[in-house]
Amino acid sequence: MLKKFTRLFPILLVIIIVLTLVQSAPVQADQPINDLQVLIIQYHDRDQLADLANRYDVVEVNSEAQTVKVFSNQITRDALAAEGFSWIVDQEYTRMVNTPVKPSPWQTSGIPGYTCYRTIPEIYAAADTLAATYPDLVELVDIGDSWEKTQNPNNGWDMEVLILSNQAGSAVPKSDVFFMSGIHAREWAPPELNLRFAEYLLQNYETNADVKWLLDYNRIHLVLLTNPDGRVQDEANTSWLWRKNTNTAYCTNNPSDRGADLNRNYPFAWEHNTNQCDETYSGPLAASEPETQAITNYVRTVFPDQRGPNPNDPVNELNATGMFIDLHSYSRLVLWPWGYTYDVAPNDASLRVMSYKFAYYNGHAPQKSTELYPSAGTTDDWAYGELGVPGFCFEVGDSFHQSCSVFESDINPRNQQALLRAVKIARKPYRLTHGPEISELSAYINPGGLVVSYTADDTLYSTYRTGVPSSSIDSIRYSIDLPSWITGANAKTIVIRPGVPKYSGMFSVSVAGLAPGKHTLFVEALDKSGAWGAPTAIFFTVEGEVTPTDPTPEPTDPPVIYQNIYLPLIGND
């Protein structure tokens, strides 16, 4: 999405904007002469905001100051002036987007000046490498062609899905997760984030028990580049900040504005935008673009239809499964449906809680999509509206061409944690999101068995605005080698009822009868509302054969501590 939000705007700048907007002339003497300018425009109400966002390239929204930032060329400025709008130019932002970026003298890979972002050929090559390196965990599937390739098979790109799952365990019941990125070509961080997530899972499969069970009991479908043709244009002409696909049938008089906005082209609540040169041009028909068709056709094979035939039919939250996330930049938001209407979705309460769960980990602001402004024909509305899969949009970072320092230190590690939680709850997302998490888990073996330490926490949600009410912890449940929902798991429940929403405790588990070698312990928690959370897992090792009549082997001194090895929790206060 292009719709952006900044929560705090300097008071002095707001005063300047107001004073400027009362002037009749839209152009100031100190405005740069660049054709691409970033304008700051004041809007009066949400209807005017929606109209601006529907017709212009709105990249930031400040709801407190009631201003938007708009990327503009001379045609845009002439149109705005004809409609009576005044503006000031964001000089610093305008200079930034018009400054050419050159590769570092030592740079041999990545986008010039941005070594952290792989180019489009490098992204495709990385996917090929993962499939070759991890053949038992990776499947690479061609689901269609980009627009350029439909016109000439020697041009353009395949639309590829990277499927991560333990293929040897195909008989095990599995849930599905779908993460897509790069639908807007100028948004560089999302495809790299998606690819890094795949690499993290594959590299840690054998050493991280939580990662292992995620790939054993889920299929994770990743589309790294949803708009590859547009990405080629943006990498070649970074100052154009290309958004749409490259369909030459639209906006033929202005080739730099051609194409359709793929995130307005999805076939749920689609609306026709008649101006083909608009950055949000929705295409002549719903799902008119081959990139949209490739995604929708594939996703329909992944998820069952879990919604009724009527717009207000809710999903049955007890049995619904799956997770859909579209990764965008920028504005640091987690958005949930609906985006096309101010009305709330039938499952709004649970979608909201899921959003607050993800926002706890990535530090974003969780919002219903229309808090930004209405947008029709979007991916997340389609996933939820047609199939009942909980659909979200993560708007990461604070720039289209985000600096590598921010990507490496903030965007990647924090959003990786949010994506991990999305996979963890995918089996029953509408229910598991309400349950507590096991946020810390460790164990060691002593003569009495496996001694387990844990923290059950029902408070791990963003505190943005109202936050999410917590419930006190009721019980924990553990199982060995199989998660509790698998037949034969022999899960055991321990009632604790400490009367608080966050509780740290210990318990012992007999390891008698377990074969020598590495095993997996799964632990999950129940809160007073009756909601179980997703499990956390750790590996532990049994040295030698243990029988019911023999004591557990003596521990080493000091004992070996087994623990989950996720990154440290990152909260949003």
DSSP 197-266: HHHHHHHTTTT-HHHHHHHHSEEEEEES-S-HHHHHHHHH-GGG---S---TTSSTT-GGG-S--GGG-S
* Rounded Cα–Cα distance for residues 526 and 498 (Å): 12
Bridge partners (DSSP) of residue 368 are 336
Q: Are 383 and 180 in contact (CB under 8 A)?
A: no
* Rounded Cα–Cα distance for residues 496 and 490 (Å): 19
The values of phi and psi at residue 80, to 5°, are -65, -45
DSSP 30-77: T----SSEEEEEE-SSHHHHHHHHHHSEEEEEETTTTEEEEEE-HHHH
DSSP structural state of residue 364: P
Q: Is domain 11-97 annotated with CATH 3.30.70?
A: yes
Tens of pLDDT, residue by residue, the chain (573 residues): 444 444 334 333 433 343 343 333 344 434 444 688 999 999 999 999 999 999 999 999 998 899 999 999 898 999 999 999 999 999 999 998 888 878 878 888 999 999 999 999 999 999 999 999 999 999 999 999 999 999 999 999 999 999 999 998 777 889 999 999 999 999 999 999 999 999 999 999 999 999 999 999 999 999 999 999 999 999 998 778 999 999 999 999 999 899 999 999 999 999 999 999 999 999 999 999 999 999 999 999 999 999 988 878 999 999 999 999 999 999 999 999 999 999 999 999 999 999 999 999 999 999 999 998 899 999 999 999 999 999 999 999 999 999 999 999 999 999 999 999 999 999 999 999 999 999 999 999 988 799 999 999 999 999 999 999 999 999 999 999 999 999 999 999 999 999 999 999 999 999 999 999 999 999 999 999 999 999 999 999 998 765 444 444 444 445 666 666 544 344 443
What is the sign of the dihedral through the CA atoms of 424, 428, 434 and 437?
negative
pLDDT value for 152: 97
* Rounded Cα–Cα distance for residues 110 and 407 (Å): 14
Q: In what order do the strands lie in the sheet with 88-89?
A: 57-62, 67-72, 37-42, 88-89
Residue 515, number of CB atoms within 10 A of its CB: 10
Letter for the amino acid at 10?
Answer: P
* Rounded Cα–Cα distance for residues 201 and 162 (Å): 12
Bridge partners (DSSP) of residue 519 are 540
pLDDT value for 51: 93
pLDDT value for 545: 61
* Rounded Cα–Cα distance for residues 402 and 94 (Å): 15
User: Would you kindly state where each structural domain of the chain is located, as residue ranges?
Assistant: 11-97, 120-431, 435-563
Q: Is domain 435-563 annotated with CATH 3.40.50.2300?
A: no
Assigned CATH topology for domain 120-431: Aminopeptidase (3.40.630)
Q: Are 264 and 281 in contact (CB under 8 A)?
A: yes
